[in-house]
Structure 1
Amino acid sequence: MVMQKLELPLSQTQKVRFERAIERLQSLSSTANSDSSVIVTDSIPVNHDDAFLKGHGTSEVDGELLATVCGVVERVDKLVYVRTLRARYKPEVGDIVVGRVIEVSQNRWRVELNFTQDGVLMLSSMTNPDGGQRRRTSVDELNMRNIFVEHDVVCSEVRTIQHDGSLQLHARSEKYGKLEKGQLLKVDPYLIKRTKPHFHHIESLGIDLILGCNGFIWVGEHVEVRDPLIIADQKDDEMISSPTKNTVKDQTHIPLETRQTICRLGNAIRVLSNLGFTMTLEVIMETFNLSNSNNIDIYDMLGSEFHVVVTENEAERRRTKRKN
């Protein structure tokens, strides 16, 4: 856990409550982890009688192991290193990422990924609209804007990392592709841990939640992933039965209740980001439900009081979890 400095105006009572909650969180964190947090030049306790390996973020000076970065001491067998907490996004092959298209080129899209370089999504790394696997032609290149255009939000996977540091993406699955009817949020990448599921369907709310490893989070209306051939057949049937039917409204309309849910989830993520809490489905839903149970308006969730309430609730949640 990395607490950030809360820049919201706090009353004296709120400040006392907030500081008490922070103290509880820090005490729980220190007792739950055998390894301690360190800052630059802090000494790292090691047994010099046993052989150990100096890892990232450490340096041996005058027989003493010192930290060269801020973070948490980690030990893997004989390796001792410091895991930096506030770091830029460090891509790995297989990462689920969310980004925004910033350029459409001859046979590729350039995607902003909250990284030092933009990602590249090749036309050949996309699933065909008809679901078939075939060689791409010049006609496909001319129709690229029918798939993605500038400012579209897309979900993809890191395919390879080139020698120059650029990322090659792919979207060869129906779960990847264009994201619509939702909200894109940006948090510090270190708040999102690599886990097995990054796609979450919240059935009770009818919402899709995608936690991108690069710090971009998508909250949107649930979209059923179906076979594209079946979808194409259904569209053909609709055109035959009602060739003059206007379906644009149905494609863009989002019910008011769904929009409110998306905004409430979005504000829950913003509050957790302000406080420096790790983003997990459990914590996000707990914050969402907390705002509902306390009858907090969506806009008021970004106020000082709710930040204090969330901090207190997180301290209690961790205490209960540890006791169990």
Structure 2
Amino acid sequence: MAAITMRLPVPRKAVGPSAPRGGEKHLVAPGDTITTDTGYMRGHGTYVEEEKLIASVAGAVERVNKLVCVKALKTRYNGEVGDIVVGRITEVQQKRWKVETNSRLDSVLLLSSMNLPGGELRRRSAEDELAMRDYLQEGDLISLGQGVLVQVSPSLVKRQKTHFHDLPCGASVILGNNGFIWIYPTAEQKDEEAGGFTTNLEPVPLSDREVISRLRNCIVALVTQQLMLFDTSILYCYEASLPHQIKDILKPEVMEEIVLETRQRLLDLEG
């Protein structure tokens, strides 16, 4: 007879209202009336009917002065200036690479924008063009060494001043605005040179792989429960998952338990 794993219910602390700092976001469904004020301008995701501004998609209402738009909860990534993205090379072309960035169209990385080994600054030559596949080839991720890629909805990645985070658990994450999240071991000594292209293919120790795997499962749990991803929420979820084995984090009852604890800690942090 096969063994069956059973978990008894445990008392849980009631979670307060999940209103983020600065006011709760106004979520709407298609057909909901956003405002009846005629002084507003119609933006993306809205339409006007009988002098009412109505949502055409499900998402969060965003206001910029008099402009009102609805940002869809699930949509393809639309790049903005200053965004941090993680991409995968799909094709090597003349003096450029095509990069999959979870957007409607592939992005372009020019050879002239690539940092050469050692951070050398000079004009790119024909020899550099012939050696493009030595730098990046089809299937490669534009990242900082070995790690794990997690793909989530771009709407769940919180916009912050920095999207590169060295977590105290011993791993680092790049929270791409395009929904591509890269988890990798934190380097013991950071290179202080002026940014050159390097490839680190050294074997990753078992302890680092376990931390990376736990972080990956925690991110999946947060996404499943529709909780925003940023450094604090990921760290709190990681700490809440420590009493459980890595493989058990994805069990529905464990997932719900650690995410509830994470949400409560975030609410306590907001005061």
> Do they superpose with TM above 0.5?
yes
Displacement after TM superposition at 1:317 (Å): 2.5
* Match status 1:137 vs 2:125: yes
- Deviation sequence 1:69-104 (CA, Å, 0-9, x none): 212233333333323222210111222111112222
**Greater radius of gyration (CA):** 1
Identify the match of residue 212 of structure 1 among 173, 176, 182: 176
The answer to whether the Cα contact below 8 Å between 2:115 and 2:197 also exists between their aligned partners in 1 is: no
Give the Cα–Cα distance (whole angstroms) in 1 for the partners of residues 131 and 166 of structure 2.
31
Identify the match of residue 159 of structure 2 among 183, 194, 199: 194
* Paired position in structure 2 for 1:183: 148
In the TM superposition, 1:3-42 aligns within 5 A as 27-29=17-19, 33=23, 36-42=26-32
Instruction: Please report the TM-score for the alignment, with normalisation by the length of structure 2.
Output: 0.84
* Paired position in structure 2 for 1:87: 75
The answer to whether the Cα contact below 8 Å between 2:27 and 2:59 also exists between their aligned partners in 1 is: yes
Identify the match of residue 279 of structure 1 among 229, 252, 258: 229
* Paired position in structure 2 for 1:60: 48
* Paired position in structure 2 for 1:43: 33
* Paired position in structure 1 for 2:265: 317
- Deviation sequence 1:45-72 (CA, Å, 0-9, x none): 4445xx3323332323223332222122
The answer to whether the Cα contact below 8 Å between 1:114 and 1:214 also exists between their aligned partners in 2 is: yes
Q: Which amino acid aligns with 1:227?
A: E
Give the Cα–Cα distance (whole angstroms) in 1 for the partners of residues 238 and 29 of structure 2.
34
Give the Cα–Cα distance (whole angstroms) in 2 for the partners of residues 60 and 86 of structure 1.
23
* Paired position in structure 2 for 1:291: 241
SS across alignment from 2:249: helix
Give the Cα–Cα distance (whole angstroms) in 2 for the partners of residues 231 and 40 of structure 1.
46
The answer to whether the Cα contact below 8 Å between 2:115 and 2:195 also exists between their aligned partners in 1 is: no
Q: Does 313-322 or 210-219 show the bigger shift?
A: 313-322
Give the Cα–Cα distance (whole angstroms) in 1 for the partners of residues 52 and 196 of structure 2.
66
Give the Cα–Cα distance (whole angstroms) in 1 for the partners of residues 25 and 132 of structure 2.
51
* Match status 1:221 vs 2:171: no
Larger proportion of helix: 1
Identify the match of residue 213 of structure 2 among 256, 263, 267: 263
Give the Cα–Cα distance (whole angstroms) in 1 for the partners of residues 48 and 135 of structure 2.
54
SS across alignment from 2:123: coil
Give the Cα–Cα distance (whole angstroms) in 1 for the partners of residues 99 and 173 of structure 2.
20
Percent identity reads: 37
* Match status 1:69 vs 2:57: yes
Q: Which has the higher contact order (CA 8 A, sep 6+)?
A: 1
Instruction: Please report the TM-score for the alignment, with normalisation by the length of structure 1.
Output: 0.71
The answer to whether the Cα contact below 8 Å between 2:116 and 2:197 also exists between their aligned partners in 1 is: no
Displacement after TM superposition at 1:110 (Å): 1.8
Q: Classify 1:229/1:113 alpha carbon distance in 2 versus 1 (closer, same or farther; 3 Å).
A: closer
Displacement after TM superposition at 1:126 (Å): 0.8
- Count of matched residue pairs: 262
Gaps of 5+ in 2: 1-6
Q: Classify 1:94/1:256 alpha carbon distance in 2 versus 1 (closer, same or farther; 3 Å).
A: same
Give the Cα–Cα distance (whole angstroms) in 1 for the partners of residues 92 and 51 of structure 2.
56
SS across alignment from 2:61: strand
Give the Cα–Cα distance (whole angstroms) in 2 for the partners of residues 287 and 199 of structure 1.
18
The answer to whether the Cα contact below 8 Å between 1:180 and 1:220 also exists between their aligned partners in 2 is: yes
Q: Does 58-67 or 89-98 show the bigger shift?
A: 58-67
Q: Does 281-290 or 102-111 show the bigger shift?
A: 102-111
Q: Classify 1:57/1:117 alpha carbon distance in 2 versus 1 (closer, same or farther; 3 Å).
A: closer
* Match status 1:125 vs 2:75: no
